[in-house]
Amino acid sequence: MPLETDLAFARIRPAYDQVASQLKLLILNGSLAPGERLPVESSLAAAFGVSRNTVREALRMLSSMGLVRTERGVNGGTFVAQIELDDVSEFLESRLGLLVGSDSITPEELTEARIMLEVPCARQAALRRTDDDVDALQALVDAEREDHTGWTRGEHSHEFHLRLLRATGNTVLELMLAPVLSISRPNMLQPKPGTWDAANDDHTRILDAVRRRDSDAAAQLTLEHLHRVREITDPSYSEPRD
């Protein structure tokens, strides 16, 4: 029977894409462990029933994703990459930065995301914080109060939010939100007069709630603080009233 021209046919993915996808799955599910050497190209080609050029292209794809690395020499080969948390955070930060730079993501969206994520994080931090967390947060609040330079006060403020996030004890939350905080940071470096003192007062109150393990107060104070941040970054925004 002749094929009808209006039939919806599924496009077949290139062979190298399919090979890369299967190897990616093996890496992500742990079948191929970090640091493990992959079979040589000829063995992979035979296993997948494709050419060595196809395997080579698949490995290039995985390398561009940061999932594998290639070493030359007698003991060289292609290895599953050892991924560090900082590497992932920097990757997300750079990609978010590009999206903000191209206006695909607005500063207002970043601040809205912070409100949605940081408020429950503050609640969790109050419940899980350690004495070391409190000491580190206090040091940042003190440094922010004593500093009179906008740039460095902004850095202290940024570090306060990062340290509060770390106090949740949840690596995934830190990994997700830290890049958003870093990308949001430039919007706060030259705010209107009085902003830094107000931010320092907010941080002091948040810290006091965290120290007392008052999770409700920590969440509410963080919410109020981030509303003020959003008013600064988005002139058309006004804090919701009850």
Query: Percent of the chain beyond pLDDT 90?
Result: 48
Domains and CATH numbers, the chain: 15-80 (1.10.10.10), 85-233 (1.20.120.530)
Residue 239 has pLDDT above 70, yes or no: no
Q: Which residues of 65-99 are buried (b: 16+ CB within 10 A; e: fewer)?
A: eebbeeeeeeeebbbbbeeeeeeebeebbeebeee
CB 40 within 8 A of CB 26: no
For 181-208, the pLDDT digits (tens) are 888 875 554 566 677 888 899 999 999 9
Residue 42 has pLDDT above 80, yes or no: yes
Q: What is residue 202's predicted lDDT score, i.e. its pLDDT? A: 95
Mean pLDDT of the chain: 86
35: left (phi over 0), alpha (psi -120 to 50) or beta: left
Our CA angle for 38, 63, 26, nearest 5°, is: 45
What is the spatial distance between Cα 163 and Cα 151, in angstroms, rounded to a whole number?
Answer: 18
For 101-119, the pLDDT digits (tens) are 888 888 778 888 889 999 9
For 207-234, the pLDDT digits (tens) are 999 999 999 999 999 999 998 877 766 6
